[in-house]
């Protein structure tokens, strides 16, 4: 049975589908530059790599990559490729879906626009999207970036996925496009506006940056990020039936270009991303909000002493220099700014959320760092 819009996120179909999303869902192209910036190769030995969690057996790097359903894996040290791996039919050219790592791209776009004076993060959502659900009354753009809107919407409803073009429409949906879904949204509200992870917030952010600039999100990512950083391949982003981008999860890119995004952060932005924005991502999140949120238990003991969610990125601690982008089914980008180490990983895990494997991937970054710095 072939992968279809009905089953593309279900194993074993996800293995093929995650690298061929454009054959299932409409996409917009994120353009690459005329002259990509090459990644130099400087292979390192990972023979001493060894990781163990709980009662599981020790894993060397090869066993770890297999155990965590790895499709693509790139480690950069000081901007050079220290290790590279592809599995499950993926190649260096495969455009793999990034899932919620897309949120982090959208956050970077918002940061660049803010630095240019084209987006006011202190402004109310309604300034840019007046028709957004009443749930976003008196919510700021920064609160959308930080998942502190108070909105506690379910990411997994059929209507939400169908509106985004990720599920087939049945015909009984009230909202058939992302914008209509955001306009009609009803959900539980956290009046304290703690950290509540709801993907619809970032789909709204995508709409906000498009409204602020009059440009499509794919064009903005290309113009502000993909071209300046020297991406070697075009990327894609899924869109709904009206061409609205799935800013919360629809970007598809090569793992090398995902690593390039991480390297851009490790390099302090290189006049592409404002250094002040990277510092904000790293240090200005709320550890208290994180500690009271649903993610805290997932990463206790493997992320850092005081993690936080800021600007669509997870920081490993407000005193640390590590940020992470994360997506379901095992997509992960880790950046250690202090030590100039980047780990980019695409995967096709058996289930959207597998906490032990995600924890293992996060811990593996520490082992990668140990090997490189030994």
Locate the domains of the chain by residue range. 13-31+43-373
Query: Are the C-beta atoms of residues 75 and 343 closer than 8 Å to each other?
Result: yes
Looking at the chain, the whole-number percentage of residues with pLDDT higher than 70 is 99
pLDDT score of 224: 98
Closest CA to 356 of 53, 151, 20, 3: 53
Query: Are the C-beta atoms of residues 207 and 182 closer than 8 Å to each other?
Result: yes
pLDDT higher than threshold 70 for residue 241: yes
309-368: pLDDT as tens digits:
999 999 987 667 999 999 999 999 999 999 999 999 999 999 999 888 998 999 999 999
Q: Which has more pLDDT, 123 or 301?
A: 123
Closest CA to 111 of 314, 256, 324, 310: 310
- Any idea how long the chain is? 374
Average pLDDT, the chain: 96
Q: What is the torsional sign of CA 155, 161, 165, 171?
A: negative
* pTM for the full predicted model: 0.97
Query: Are the C-beta atoms of residues 313 and 324 closer than 8 Å to each other?
Result: yes
pLDDT score of 32: 97
Mean pLDDT in residue range 203-221: 98
CA distance 197 to 315: 15
Mean pLDDT in residue range 93-109: 98
Instruction: Among 97-111, 249-263, 284-298, name the one with the lowest average pLDDT.
Output: 284-298
- The answer regarding whether domain 13-31+43-373 maps to CATH 3.40.710.10 reads yes
Residue 330 burial by Cβ neighbours in a 10 Å radius (0-12, 13-18, 19+): buried
11-59: pLDDT as tens digits:
999 999 999 999 999 999 999 999 999 999 999 999 999 999 877 789 9
What is the three-state SS of 243-307? CCECCCCCEEECHHHHHHHHHHHHCCCCCCCCHHHHHHHHHCCCHHHHHCCCCHHHHCCCCCCEC
């Amino acid at each position: 049975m072939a992968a279809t819009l009905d089953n593309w996120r279900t194993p074993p179909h996800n293995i093929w589908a995650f690298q061929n999303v454009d054959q299932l869902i409409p996409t917009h192209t994120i353009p690459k530059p005329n002259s990509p910036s090459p990644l130099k190769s400087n292979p390192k030995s990972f023979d001493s790599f060894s990781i163990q969690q709980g009662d599981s057996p020790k894993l060397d790097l090869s066993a770890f990559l297999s155990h965590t359903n790895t499709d693509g894996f790139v480690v950069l040290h000081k901007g050079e490729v220290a290790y590279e791996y592809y599995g499950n039919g993926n190649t260096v050219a495969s455009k793999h879906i990034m899932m919620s790592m897309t949120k982090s791209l959208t956050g970077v776009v918002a940061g660049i626009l803010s630095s240019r004076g084209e987006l006011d993060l202190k402004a109310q959502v309604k300034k840019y999207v007046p028709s957004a659900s009443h749930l976003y009354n008196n919510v700021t753009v920064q609160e959308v970036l930080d998942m502190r809107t108070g909105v506690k919407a379910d990411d997994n409803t059929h209507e939400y996925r169908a509106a985004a073009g990720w599920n087939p429409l049945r015909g009984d949906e009230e909202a058939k496009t992302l914008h209509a879904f955001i306009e009609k949204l009803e959900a539980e509200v956290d009046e304290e506006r703690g950290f509540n992870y709801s993907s619809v917030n970032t789909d709204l952010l995508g709409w906000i940056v498009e409204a602020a600039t009059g440009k499509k999100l794919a064009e903005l990512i290309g113009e502000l990020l993909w071209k300046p950083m020297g991406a070697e391949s075009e990327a894609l982003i899924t869109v709904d039936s009206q061409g609205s981008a799935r800013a919360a999860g629809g970007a598809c890119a090569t793992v090398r270009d995902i690593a390039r995004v991480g390297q851009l952060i490790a390099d302090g932005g290189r006049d592409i991303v404002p250094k002040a924005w990277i510092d904000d991502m790293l240090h200005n999140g709320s550890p208290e909000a994180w500690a009271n949120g649903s993610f805290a238990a997932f990463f206790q003991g493997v992320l850092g002493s005081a993690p936080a969610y800021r600007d669509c990125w997870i920081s490993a601690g407000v005193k640390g220099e590590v940020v992470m982008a994360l997506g379901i089914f095992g997509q992960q980008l880790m950046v250690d700014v202090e030590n100039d180490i980047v780990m980019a990983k695409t995967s096709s895990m058996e289930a959207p959320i597998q906490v032990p494997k995600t924890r293992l991937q996060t811990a593996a970054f520490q082992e990668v760092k140990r090997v490189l710095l030994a």
